[in-house]
Amino acid sequence: MTDDAVGLDDVVAAADRIRDHIHRTPVMTSAGLDRLSGASLFFKCENLQRTGVFKARGACNAVFGLPEEGIVNGVATHSSGNHAQALSYAARRREIEAIVVMPRDAPQCKKAAVIGYGGRIVECAPGNTSRERMLAQVVEESGAHVVHPYDDHRVIAGQGTCVLELLDQCVKLDAIIAPVGGGGLVSGACAVVAALSPEIAVYGAEPAQADDAHRSLRQGRIVRNENPGTIADGLRVNLMALTWRHVSRYVRDILLVEEAQIIRSMYLVWQRMKLVIEPSSAVPVAAVLAHRDRFRGKRVGIVLTGGNLDFDALPPSLPGGDG
């Protein structure tokens, strides 16, 4: 990696900075899923991470990397999902304020989670434009420091610590598959693997219903999702300039999976591994099952990114979950 891409040094520094605030999550295996995939799978369990998702890593790195004079007015972001919780958590650990701009119609359970981590919610009308406008207004009034959910060096370096741990926990991986939404996690993976183990192929996995990274890689430029309809709510966002730089240079391929495969894979992990994962986490599992020929006999690291979901709105399980 060159230019202003995130480097191994940044990730190592992040690991040191966030050590007291995150879990070193376990890597689990499953004889049943190995049989189904024909590969040896190593699951990095970020669903067991603080706040239930890997995003605690990037948020903590950004918040704890700020100089004293940068934090007096707190931090702010707009997010209706996991980054909002993660930033609220990181801010509370540093005893500063987190302000989260959330659409008025965001699920009550997500708002409750942010409040539970001590974040302050500022509501806005639904839609990206009004979110961004409200965040600008909040920043102007409060002087808070904005932490973007993924297109940010500090966040990418923080997410990379997850793959740094994985390489320490598993030897001789042939491939790593991470889900791709905005690309923060896979960018962090690229930074680590390029420097430490370039023989490992880094793959992104994406819902076919939100295939911006897949199309971007093929067209050689950032292409956006028009109206992503996927159940994997963490993956509806688009690559941006910084994450695209990492993805375009280093990711081997972006593997697509269908919605039914995502749902089946989610319940398969619940059933076989007894781990609650959210739909976004099931996307790389679905990818390794849908692309068996590519991974047969290989040692594959899979990041189970998170486990936050609403048990009142579960999709029906589908027949054929074992296949």
Which residues contact its own copies (rule: CB under 8 A)? 26, 28, 47-48, 52, 267, 270-271, 273-277, 307, 311-312, 314, 316-317
Q: Are 268 and 244 in contact (CB under 8 A)?
A: no
Q: Which is nearer to its own copies, 129 or 317 (CB)?
A: 317
Q: Are 71 and 90 in contact (CB under 8 A)?
A: no
CB of 95 vs its own copies, minimal distance in Å = 17
Q: Distance (Å, rounded) from C-alpha 227 to C-alpha 50?
A: 31
Q: Which is nearer to its own copies, 130 or 267 (CB)?
A: 267
CB of 116 vs its own copies, minimal distance in Å = 9
CB of 86 vs its own copies, minimal distance in Å = 15
Q: Distance (Å, rounded) from C-alpha 249 to C-alpha 151?
A: 16
Q: Distance (Å, rounded) from C-alpha 240 to C-alpha 10?
A: 20
CB of 311 vs its own copies, minimal distance in Å = 5
7: CB partners within 8 A, 6+ apart:
1, 191, 195
CB of 102 vs its own copies, minimal distance in Å = 20
Backbone angles phi, psi at 185, to 5 degrees: -70, -50
CB of 103 vs its own copies, minimal distance in Å = 23
Q: Which is nearer to its own copies, 216 or 308 (CB)?
A: 308
- Tell me if residue 137 falls in helix, strand or coil: helix
CB of 29 vs its own copies, minimal distance in Å = 10
Q: Which is nearer to its own copies, 276 or 288 (CB)?
A: 276
Q: Distance (Å, rounded) from C-alpha 239 to C-alpha 314?
A: 28
Q: Which is nearer to its own copies, 72 or 318 (CB)?
A: 318
64: CB partners within 8 A, 6+ apart:
17, 18, 21, 90, 93, 94
Provide the angle, in degrees to the nearest 10, between the axes of the packed helices 184-196 and 241-250: 40
Q: Which is nearer to its own copies, 48 or 260 (CB)?
A: 48
Distances (CA, A) of 294 to 41, 177, 187, 265, 320: 13, 12, 22, 18, 22
- Tell me if residue 120 falls in helix, strand or coil: strand
CB of 45 vs its own copies, minimal distance in Å = 8
CB-facing half-sphere around the CA of 189: CA atoms within 13 A: 27
Q: Which is nearer to its own copies, 220 or 316 (CB)?
A: 316
Q: Which is nearer to its own copies, 137 or 271 (CB)?
A: 271
Q: Distance (Å, rounded) from C-alpha 185 to C-alpha 178?
A: 7
